[in-house]
Amino acid sequence: MAELEHLANRGYTEGFYRRHVPSEYQNYEVGHSSNPNQQFVGEALACDGERMTIDVKNYFRVGDTLKLISPAGNRTFVLESIENRNGSAVEEAPGSGHVVSIPLPRGHAASADGGHALLMRYR
C-alpha cells in the first residue's frame, strides 16, 4: 500500500469496496499524492520473460526513469527501448489507446499474464 500511495490519487476510501456509499466516503474535491513527481503510465498485460506488454495510460518515452510495481517486487529502472504492436522500435508511448512492449527490468520475475503489474514514471 505504501507504494500505491505514491501514485496521484484522490485518497483511498472504502467507497471502492461497497457499491453504494454515502458521499462522505468519497473525495471528489481534492486530488492528492504523497509524491507529485510520479505518474501512473501503464498496466502490464503479458510477459514473455524478456519483454512486457503494456496497456499505455499516459505518455512515457525511452530514457524515462520508470518503476514497475508488482506482487513479485518493485523495480526502478531507466527505459532502454519501446516497441509498438508491430515490433518496430519507437521512441515514445503516446498515451491511452496504445499497446507497447518494453524490456523486463533486470532481475525481475513476472508471470506470463504480466503479474498484475503497474508502471509509473518519475516526472
CB 100 within 8 Å of CB 82: yes
Q: Which CATH class is domain 37-122?
A: mainly beta
Instruction: Break the chain into its structural domains and give their ranges.
Output: 1-35, 37-122
- 41-50 exposure pattern, b = at least 16 Cβ within 10 A, e = fewer: bbebebbeee
What is the predicted pLDDT for the residue at 106? 80
pLDDT at 9 over 70: no
Cell of 31: 486530488
Q: Please check whether residue 114 is in contact with residue 32, taking contact to mean a CB–CB distance below 8 angstroms.
A: no
Nearest-CA neighbor of 78 among 110, 112, 102? 102
The helix/strand/coil state of 61 is strand
pLDDT of residue 94: 95
DSSP helix/strand/coil, 1? coil
The amino acid that residue 123 corresponds to is R
- Tens digits of per-residue pLDDT, 36-76? 788 999 999 998 888 999 999 999 999 999 999 888 888 89
Q: 96-110, pLDDT tens digit by residue?
A: 999 999 998 887 766
Q: Give how far the C-alpha of residue 92 lies from the chain's centroid of Cα atoms, to the nearest Å.
A: 15
Q: Which of 113, 112, 114, 109 is nearest to 73 (CA)?
A: 109
